[in-house]
Chain A
């Protein structure tokens, strides 16, 4: 066995390659256990069916539809995300793998890996729920481009916000309650922006430069950058 091998070979390691390794491991684990996917999809599908059967597309007047449908869509997306995204860090704590991960990976790489994983879950959720919502509620969208951009940028912000909160609550005792309580005020500005953007897309009122999309992207960038600075402190004891 040769000493010093470690130092030379870690020189090629980047945060991104480490983050990708964590992301792929989480995906593989999730594919085999389906803890988070089941929690998120069950909540989303149940809520969507409950909303479509109780409200339907005919009980709301044409004038209110763009706003109310945007509200309902984002309520389903945000609360579905809250039901499962905390698992990314909580499962490390519960399974006793937190220490070995702390010894192996750099904190920023762990955050990025978990962020990629949560964004993958959110992307899959949006791919299933948004078309289903549009079909079941007969949601008419005048500007599909703005609507799609709003859903994607809103999802990015949602993933960024929930990932850092998931890291914060992972070592707490009342994790479930804490996750929702801490996430809600953090996500409220994003939710309001996303609702406004989707309403405009449905109405066809096109502001130049899509300000809501830009706000959501700015929110996501700020959240990710701040998290990369804060996460090492959370990750330490």
Chain B
């Protein structure tokens, strides 16, 4: 139903070339892993795919039933987790999820938000302010936030960041659930996370 086409992407920051000639296609059920040294442009590639950063050249297109989704709408079809992305610390975990449902226009009730929190292993801390969360709990909440609108494209930038072994199992279950119908792109240096990918792009090469 959905597909992603990345065509000849290139990104420069002033004089520095980050990457060039990145092309791939992604279809439902597929997982793409992006590997590379620190500073090789993994996070930037994911931000370009999400529509948060413009590429220097090349094109990212997302299709729904063969029709291209406009760039300005594409962002809302994406669920993204990244170390630099934060949630609202002055809200509770449940308030955060409810806010992202409302702002995305999803008719979501408290029950489905609680289900999502259960999936992320945060059932005992739903009414706790995010500022009082540990870094691992914040990462789990970010995962719940990325999934709350059931996005066809899931972008995971270092998804295991700050997570314990239970948290890593949650990441694993999220990726396998997404495989049932959606697309996933994972950027990481961790072998375990890169191994989730059916295909690998190495930006260090």
Contact = CB atoms under 8 A, between A and B. Distances in A.
A232 interface: yes
Contacts of A59: none
Contact of A97 (B54, B78, B88, B102): B88
A95 B151 CA distance: 24
> Of A11, A25, A95, which is in contact with the most chain B CB atoms at under 10 Å from its CB?
A25
Interface stretch (B17-25, B69-77, B159-167, B185-193): B69-77
Nearest to A32: B90
B91 A28 contact: yes
B71 to A, nearest CB: 9
Contact of B52 (A21, A96, A99): A99
B152 A6 contact: yes
Nearest to B89: A95
A236 B76 CA distance: 14
Given A99-B52, A102-B75, A10 B104 contact: yes
Interface residues of A, number: 38
Interface stretch (B30-38, B120-128, B174-182): B174-182
Interface string B30-56: 000000000000000001001011100
Contact of A2 (B50, B54, B103, B150): B150
A62 interface: no
Contacts of B145: 100
Interface string A8-21: 01111110011001
A95 B86 contact: yes
A103 B150 contact: no
Among B82, B99, B180, B182: residue with most chain A CB under 10 A: B99
Nearest to B155: A103
B75 A10 contact: no
B106 A10 contact: yes
A28 B95 contact: yes
A29 interface: yes
Nearest to B145: A100
A17 B102 contact: yes
A33 B89 CA distance: 10
A34 to B, nearest CB: 10
Secondary structure at chain A's binding surface: helix, strand, loop or mixed?
helix
B140 to A, nearest CB: 15
A6 B150 contact: yes
Nearest to B1: A3
A21 B86 contact: no
A97 B130 CA distance: 13
Given A3-B2, A237-B54, A95 B88 contact: yes
B92 to A, nearest CB: 10
Contacts of B77: 6
Most chain B CB within 10 A, of A18, A100, A237, is at A100
Contacts of A97: 85-88
B133 interface: no
B91 A105 contact: no
A7 B107 CA distance: 11
A99 B87 CA distance: 10
Contacts of A103: 50, 52, 75-76, 78, 80
27 contacts: A3-B2, A3-B182, A5-B150, A6-B149, A6-B151, A11-B105, A17-B105, A18-B103, A18-B105, A25-B103, A28-B90, A29-B88, A32-B129, A95-B88, A97-B86, A99-B80, A100-B85, A100-B86, A100-B100, A101-B103, A102-B52, A102-B75, A103-B75, A105-B104, A106-B72, A109-B103, A237-B52
Interface of A: 1-7, 9-14, 17-18, 21-22, 25, 28-29, 32-33, 95-97, 99-107, 109, 232, 236-237
Given A103-B80, A104-B104, 6 more contacts: A1-B180, A5-B150, A6-B106, A6-B152, A104-B103, A105-B104
